[in-house]
Structure 1
Amino acid sequence: MATRLRKTGGGLAAITLAGALAVQTVGGFEGLKLYAYRDVVGIWTACYGETKGIKPGMKFSKADCDNLLIDSLVEHEAGMRGCLKVPDALPIQTYIAGVSLTYNIGPGGFCGSTVARKLNAGDIRGACDAFLMWDKAKGRKIPGLTKRRVAERALCLQGVAA
């Protein structure tokens, strides 16, 4: 599996500079909670927005959460890469913004999105603008998602030549 987030070798997995940027970006958006809680739409969540396998009463250490985040980012990155024609041709900022969006809306949401369609058409600026469409949860506009999408769009556009 190709990845721009993790490097392997010598029996030890480490994250790349892109991986560190992804952790910082997504971790900053998601925030860290070391226990299971219900998110704004009622889904059990923990750590940096992790939902897979989370149940009421679960508790985590920061190290647990950090490991869950990078593993989840690599998994979501794979989903994103699966629907992009030339993911490695994307500027790193655009790529990381895409990973962040995919982490938040899932690979299916990303792959069916205008963002993915425009990236595949070579319209990076249009793809970045399309991030702003994803500010709702269960049909409700969520101020925190609006703020996140504006920031992701700004990161995405850093990779676009003026």
Structure 2
Amino acid sequence: MDKRKIAGSVIAAAISLVAAWEGRSLIAYVDPVGIPTICDGYTHGVKLADVATPERCDALTEQEVRRALTVVDGSTPGQLPDGVRVALASFVYNVGPSAYGGSTLLRKLRAGDLAGACNQLPRWVYAGDKKLRGLELRREAERQICLSGLQ
């Protein structure tokens, strides 16, 4: 299998994972921490009056998943297993590159402790100071996908 096909399948899997957990709204809304959001959790420059088409949402989600995957791939010296890349792309999409960049999860990843990194995901279940059930479920799904990439 060539690298483009592998990369495409990782991106497609990450988009599916993000879409499954973010939920889609074509009309901007305020997320649990007060950030204007549209489509599948897109926040950059969003105003509450914004409206998007499904096609625009698809494009924004793919763009942001690709950015998140680039952050993940650039954060370690070696190639990570695909399951780890998919799970962490979803994670970075959700929490942002800055939170990821300063995380114990990333320190463990860089130290070669991939299972330890995957097992950090369930710690990221708060929005503001509030524990959210949706984040608990999402992080467990990401953790399972992340660990499945190690077998």
TM-score when normalising by structure 2: 0.91
2:29 alignment partner, SS class: strand
The 2-side partners of 1:114 and 1:26 are apart by 22
1:54-93 alignment to 2 at 5 Å? 54-86=46-78, 89-93=79-83
1:81 deviates by 2.9
Instruction: Compare relative contact order (CA 8 Å, sep 6+) and give the higher one, 1 or 2.
Output: 2
**Amino acid paired to 1:106:** G
Match of 1:29 in 2: 21
Match of 1:155 among 140, 145, 149: 145
The 2-side partners of 1:111 and 1:153 are apart by 18
Match of 1:41 in 2: 33
Q: Which runs of 5+ in 1 are unaligned?
A: 8-14
Q: Deviations over 1:104-152 (max 9, x none)?
A: 1111111111111111111111111100110011122111111110110
RMSD: 1.4
Match of 2:129 in 1: 139
Structure 1 residue 99 and structure 2 residue 118: aligned? Answer: no
Structure 1 moving runs of 4+ over 6 Å: none
Over the matched positions of the two proteins, sequence identity in percent amounts to: 37
From the two aligned structures, give the one with the greater helix fraction: 2
- Report if the CA contact (8 A) 2:40-2:57 is conserved: yes
1:99 alignment partner, SS class: helix
Q: Deviations over 1:83-123 (max 9, x none)?
A: 2222xx21101111011110111111111111111111111
The 2-side partners of 1:124 and 1:40 are apart by 30
The 2-side partners of 1:79 and 1:19 are apart by 13
Q: Which runs of 5+ in 2 are unaligned?
A: none
Match of 2:111 among 121, 128, 133: 121
Q: Deviations over 1:46-89 (max 9, x none)?
A: 00000001101111111100000111111222233332222xx2
2:38 alignment partner, SS class: strand
Match of 1:11 in 2: none
1:1-20 alignment to 2 at 5 Å? 16-20=8-12
The 1-side partners of 2:92 and 2:105 are apart by 10
